Amino acid sequence: MVNYKVADENLAGKGKEAIYIAESRMPVSAITIRERFAKERPLEGITIAGCLHITKETANLARTLKAGGADVWLCGSNPLSTQDDVAAAMVKEGINTFAWHGNTDEEFYWCIRECLKAKPNILIDDGADMIVTAHKEFPELITDGVIIGCQEETTTGVKRFRAMDAAGDLKVPLFPVNDARCKNQFDNELGTGQGIVAAIYGMHVLFAGKNVVIAGYGHCSSGMALRARGLGANVTVTEIDPIKALQAKFAGFNVMPIETALPYADIILTATGCKHVILPTKENFDALKDGVILGNLGHFDIEIPTKEIYEYAKEIKPIRSDVEEITFPDGKRIYLLAKGRLANLVLSEGHPAEVMDMSFGLQSLMSEYIVKNKDSLKPGMVEVPVEIDDRVGFLKLQAMGIEIDKLNEEQYNYIHGYEQGT
C-alpha cells in the first residue's frame, strides 16, 4: 500500500515522462548504482524518509533507494518547489509521497510528520526541518535506536546541524553530504548558476547590459556571478568574508557594500544563507531602481526582506506565474520572484539532472554506507568518507567516457614523502 497526499493524481503521466527523461541524464545514480542496488538489495528492510525538493531528479533518487530494497517516504523541503506532476508520478512508482506545490507552513510540517510516523531508519534532509522535527517531536525514534543515520543536502541545513552539534543537541549520526566535493562544487555552483539564468530567461529579460548584483561569492553565488557575466551583464558582488571578496575582485567583478550597489541594480540575486541581506529599511526600499528584479536562491525566504516589502507595498499584483509586481508608495515597481523563495526551483525546474546525478549518487551510496556501518556510527557530525566522494567522481567520469591518469609508484612515493628536495 502506498501512502500519499498530492495535488492531483491525474498529473502522473506528465510527471512520469519528466522522470524518465531525467533518468537518461543521471547515469550514476539512476542507472549504474540503481542496477547494482536492484541485484544486491543493500537497503532491504530499511525505511528511508526524505525531506527534499520534489523534482524529477529526486524521484530518480527515490526509485534507486527503492530498487535497493528501501521503503521510501518523501515530503517536500520547500512549500513552492514541489512539481505536482512528479509528486503524482512518484505515488504510481510506489513511493509514499506527501507533497504539493503551495502548501502552508502548517501543511509543510504535517507532511514531515506523516513521514516520521513511518519510523524511518535513515533521514535525508534538505534544510534540516525533518531532522530537527524528529528531535523535537519524535524523540523515541532516536532513543529507541530507530534512526541509524542521517544526511543533509544543503549548506543552510549543514550550518544548522553544526550549531546543534556544538550545543550538544545533535543526537544522531549526521553526514553533511552538501560538503562533499561531488556535491557542492557541482550542484551548488553549476546548478544554481544555470537555474537562475533559466528562471530569468523564462521572464524574457535580457541579461546583457544589465547591472546584476549578486549577494555572496560562495558556491552558489559565484556560479551565478560567472553565468551572469557570461551573458553580458555588468556584475557586482557583495560579501562579508574578506577572502571571498578578494576572490570576486580578482575574478574581475565589482565589489562593494550592498547599500552602495542597490541604486544601480537592475537585478539583485541573493544566495548567502544569511538573514536580511538587504536590510528592511525605508532608505533601502527607496534606493531601489524602478523595475528592479529581486530573486533569492538561498534556502530560506529570509535573505530578501519579503515580509517587510509586502508590508511597505501599496499594491501587489501577480504578473506571471511566481512573479509579483510590487508597487511602492512612491509609484516605483519592483518584481519579486517566487515570494523570496528559491527562485531557480520555483520559476524553472531546479538543478539540471546531470548535476543532481552526483548529489544523489552520494545520497544513495551514503544510505548503503549507513546501513553497513550502523553499529559503529556515533551521534554528531561525521564527514562523508573521501572514498565515497571519489567513487561518485569516478563513476561520473566513466559514464562520460573520460579517463584520467593514475599515480605510478614513484609519483605516489614522491607526493607522500618528504625526503626529496632540490
Nearest residue (beta carbon) to ligand NAD: 218
Q: Which residues contact 270 (CB under 8 A, 6 or more apart)?
A: 214, 215, 216, 221, 277, 278, 295, 296, 297, 298, 303, 304
* Angle of helix 353-372 versus helix 386-399 axis, rounded to 10: 140
277 sits near ligand NAD (criterion: CB under 6 A): yes
Among 184, 306, 363, 364, the residue binding ligand NAD under the rule CB under 6 A is 184
Residue nearer to ligand NAD on the CB measure, 324 or 349: 349
**Minimum gap (Å) between residue 145 Cβ and ligand NAD:** 30
Q: Which stretch binds ligand NAD (CB under 6 A): 64-72, 111-119, 268-276, 413-421?
A: 268-276
188 binds ligand NAD (CB under 6 A): yes
Could you say whether residue 274 binds ligand NAD (CB under 6 A)? Answer: yes
212 binds ligand NAD (CB under 6 A): no
Among 19, 134, 342, 371, binds ligand NAD (CB under 6 A): 342
Query: Is residue 151 at the binding interface for ligand NAD, with CB under 6 A as the rule?
Result: no
In this chain, which of 273, 305, 340, 352 binds ligand NAD, going by CB under 6 A? 273
Question: Pick from 43, 122, 215, 365: which binds ligand NAD (CB under 6 A)?
Answer: 215
Contacts 24+ apart (CB under 8 A), 228-236: 228/196, 228/197, 228/267, 228/269, 229/253, 231/197, 231/207, 232/207, 232/208, 233/207, 233/208, 233/209, 233/267, 234/209, 234/210, 236/211, 236/212, 236/261, 236/264, 236/265
From 34, 160, 227, 299, residue interacting with ligand NAD (rule: CB under 6 A): 299
Query: Which 57-116 residues touch ligand NAD, going by CB under 6 A?
Result: none
| 211 binds ligand NAD, rule: CB under 6 A | no
Backbone angles phi, psi at 53, to 5 degrees: -65, 125
Q: Does the footprint of ligand NAD cover residue 297 (CB under 6 A)? A: yes
Q: Which residues, 6+ apart, have CB-to-CB distance to 316 below 8 Å?
A: 310, 324, 325, 326, 327
Write b or e for each residue in 84-117: b if 16 or more Cβ atoms lie within 10 A of its Cβ, otherwise e. bbbbbbbbbbebbbbbbbebeeebbbebbebbbe
Residue 292 neighbours by CB distance under 10 Å: 21
Residue 262 is a binding residue for ligand NAD (CB under 6 A): no
**CA distance linking residue 18 with residue 171, whole number of Å:** 38
Task: Please give the residues from 397 up to 416 whose contact with ligand NAD meets the rule CB under 6 A.
Answer: none
The minimum distance between CB 155 and ligand NAD, in angstroms, equals 4
Q: Which is nearer to ligand NAD, 173 or 191 (CB)?
A: 191
Q: By CB under 6 A, which span of 85-93, 186-194, 380-388, 390-398 interacts with ligand NAD?
A: 186-194
* DSSP E strand boundaries for 119-233: 122-125, 149-152, 173-175, 211-215
Closest approach, Cβ 343 to ligand NAD, in A, equals: 7
Q: Which of 156, 284, 348, 364 binds ligand NAD (CB under 6 A)?
A: 156
Cβ distance to ligand NAD smaller for residue 76 or 191 = 191
C-alpha to C-alpha distance for 119 and 140, rounded to whole angstroms? 9
Residue labelled with grid coordinates 541594480:
265
Residue 198 contacts ligand NAD per CB under 6 A = no
Nearest approach, Cβ of residue 81 and ligand NAD (Å): 8
Q: Are 379 and 47 in contact (CB under 8 A)?
A: no
For residue 215, how many other CB atoms are within 10 A of its CB?
Answer: 27
Q: Is 102 helix (H, G, I), strand (E, B) or coil?
A: coil
Out of 12, 62, 220, 268, the only residue in the binding site for ligand NAD (CB under 6 A) is: 220
Number of residues that bind ligand NAD (CB under 6 A): 31
CB 329 within 8 A of CB 314: yes
Q: Which residues bind ligand NAD (CB under 6 A)?
A: 154-156, 184, 188, 191-192, 215-221, 238-241, 244, 271-274, 277, 297-299, 342, 344-345, 351
